[in-house]
Amino acid sequence: MGSSTRNMLKGIIAVLFVVIIFTQTQLDPQIREIHKGEKTAFQGLSNEFILGPMLGLQEAVAGALWVRADEFFHEGDYDAILPIVRMVTWLDPHQLDVYITGAWHLAYNFTDSNERSDRRYIPASQKLLEEGDANNTRVYDIAFELGWQNNDKIKDFDRSEFWFRTASTRKGSSKGGEPTEPAPLHVRHMLAHSMEKQGRIEAANEVWRSLLAETEPKLKASPNDFSLKSLHDSERHNLNLNLERMFSRYTHRINFDVEGKTTRSVNQVTGEPSPNTSFLSLDPAKDGAPVGQPRPAATAIPWKASFDTVRNGHTTILFPQPRVMDIKGIFNMGDGSRVSVKLHDDNYKESSSQSFTFDIDQSQTIMMDSLSVRGAQWARKIDMSKDPKMYSFSRPAYYLVLSFDPRTTAPFIQDRIGWSGEGMSNPKYEWIVKSNHPELGKKDNKIIRKVYRITREQIMGTKPVSEADVIPNDLYDKIQAEQTSPSTSAAKPAGE
C-alpha cells in the first residue's frame, strides 16, 4: 500500500470520527431518555450480579434479583427483600411491582410481636412510592398505590384524594403493555371513597354519577361483560347508598327500592312517612337529584358521647410492668366503634428525608393501635416490652393520645353522628379540626380526643398515670404543628 493511499485512509478515519462524534451527540439525549431514573448500582451488588450491569444488562439483572426477592418473600424473610428492592429499582426504575411491593412491606409488614405496624417506616414507604411515581409518570399504578396507602394506612384523606386524582389522569396498560388505555375505573371508585372519607359526599356523588354515565352505555354495548357489570353495580350501589344516607340520617330510614324510581323517607319510630317527605329521584332524566323537601338533620340534639378513662375517680391507664400498658375506657357510640391509641415521643417527627432511605431513627418511639368498643367499653393490654427496637422509650416524656374520629368510623356509627361528627357532643374532650378546604365543601371535623403527657418513669411503672397528666387539646395541636414534618406536606392538597 502506497503512502498516498495510507494518508488518504488516515484522512477518511479523521472524517469518519467527526461523523461518529456528531452521531454520539445526537444519541446522548435519547439515551438519557431511555435510562431516566436508572442508577449504576454496582456498589452493594453481590459478585454473581455485578457483571450484568457492566455488560449493559441492567434489566436482566433486575429481573433475576426480583426472582430471588420472590423466594425470600415466600420464606417470610421480609428483611432480606428490602435491599433487593433498592437494587432493582436502581437498576430498572420501571418495574412498578417492585416499588409497590417494597412499599407494602415497609408500611405493613414491619410489625411488633402483636402485629402493630412500625409507623416509623411509613415515611420511607411513601418516599419509595414517590420515587417510583416520578420515574413512571405516564402510568397510574404507583400514584394509585400512594392513594391507597394514604387512604388505608395513614388515613390522610386529603393526600389520598390527591393521589387518586393524579392516578385517574394517567394511563393504564393495553393488553400489549403500551400505556394507551385510560386508567381503570376502580381508580375513580377510590377517588370517590376518599372524598366520602372527608365528608364531601356531594363531590363523591358527582364522581359516582360521572362513572355511571360512562359504564351504562358500555354495559349496554357489552351486556355479558361481567367485570364491567360488577363495576357498574358497585357504582350504582354506592351512589344510592350515599343518597340514602344523606336523607335518612340520624332519625329516619328510607324504604329503599333500587329498582324503583323514587325513595321515600319514613319515620324510624312510627314507621309513617315523614311529614317532610323527601324523595330522591333515581330517574336518569333527573340525574338522581333530590326532589321534595329534605328534612332538617337531627343534629339539633346531638348524641351525648360518654368518653373517658376514669372510673371511681381513678385513671384506668396502668403500667403494671415496665413498657406494658393496661388501658381501659368507656365510650357509648355503639359496639363496633373504635378508639385510637397513640403513644409517641414528645418530640416525635416523621422522617423529613427528601429521598428514599431505609435508615430510620431507631431511637424514636411511636405506637399506634385501634381498640374496638364492646358494651360501651374498650380495653387492651399493650405489651411493648418484647420489642425494644421498636419501642426504645429513650425520651424522658411522651404523649398518649386517645381519640375517636367520625371520618374513619364504620358507616352504621357514622349514620348516628354524621360524617363529620355533627351529631355528637362531648364538651370535655371534643375537638374541632378545622376544614382546610371549606371552598370545596369540606366541613370541620368534630373528633373526641384526650391527651396525656406522661414521663418515662410512668411508662416504666414507677409512677402512676393520673388526670393531672391530661393536657388541653389546643396545646397538643400547637406542639404537633411545630413539629410537622416537611414530608407530610409533600403532596398538594386536594383540589389544587
Cβ distance to another protein smaller for residue 24 or 321 = 24
**Is residue 337 a contact residue for another protein (CB under 8 A)?**
no
Among 44, 48, 70, 113, binds another protein (CB under 8 A): 70
Strand duo 252-255 + 377-383: pairing: unpaired
Among 72, 111, 155, 173, binds another protein (CB under 8 A): 173
Smallest gap from residue 186 Cβ to another protein (A): 16
Tell me the residue type at 355. S
Strand duo 303-304 + 424-425: pairing: parallel
Whole-angstrom Cα Rg for the chain? 29
CA angle 313, 450, 112 (to 5 degrees): 105
Among 17, 77, 226, 462, binds another protein (CB under 8 A): 17
Q: How far is CA 362 from CA 122, 317, 342, 357, 358, in A?
A: 14, 26, 18, 13, 11
Stretch that binds another protein, among 16-24, 145-153, 213-221, 327-335 (CB under 8 A): 16-24
Smallest gap from residue 124 Cβ to another protein (A): 22
Q: Cell numbers of 342, please?
A: 397513640
**Is residue 24 a contact residue for another protein (CB under 8 A)?**
yes
Among positions 130-159, residues that touch another protein (CB under 8 A) are: 136, 138-139
Smallest gap from residue 137 Cβ to another protein (A): 9
Q: Cell numbers of 59, please?
A: 434489566
Among 63, 184, 334, 461, binds another protein (CB under 8 A): 63
Q: Cell numbers of 244, please?
A: 340514602
Phi-psi map region of 305: left, alpha, beta (phi>0 left; psi -120 to 50 alpha): beta
**Is residue 179 a contact residue for another protein (CB under 8 A)?**
yes
Cβ distance to another protein smaller for residue 6 or 374 = 6
Cβ distance to another protein smaller for residue 9 or 471 = 9
Q: Are 289 and 281 in contact (CB under 8 A)?
A: yes
DSSP states of 100-141 as a string?
HHHHHIIIII-B-TTS-B-GGGHHHHHHHHHHHHHH-TTBSH
**Is residue 410 a contact residue for another protein (CB under 8 A)?**
no
**Is residue 54 a contact residue for another protein (CB under 8 A)?**
yes
Of 208, 213, 207, nearest to 285 (Cα)?
Answer: 213
Cβ distance to another protein smaller for residue 81 or 122 = 81
* Number of residues forming the site for another protein (CB under 8 A): 54
Mask 86-105, x = binds another protein (CB under 8 A)?
------x-xx-xx-------
User: What is the 3 state secondary structure string of 346-406?
Assistant: CCCCCCCCCCCCCCCCCCCCEEEEEEECECCEEEEEEECCCCCCCCCCCCCEEEEEEEECH
Stretch that binds another protein, among 27-35, 195-203, 233-241, 370-378 (CB under 8 A): 27-35
Smallest gap from residue 38 Cβ to another protein (A): 7
Q: Are 175 and 159 in contact (CB under 8 A)?
A: no
**Is residue 80 a contact residue for another protein (CB under 8 A)?**
no
Residues near another protein (CB under 8 A) are 1, 6, 9-10, 12-13, 16-17, 19-21, 23-24, 26-28, 30-36, 38, 40, 52, 54-60, 62-64, 66-67, 70-71, 92, 94-95, 97-98, 136, 138-139, 171, 173, 176-179
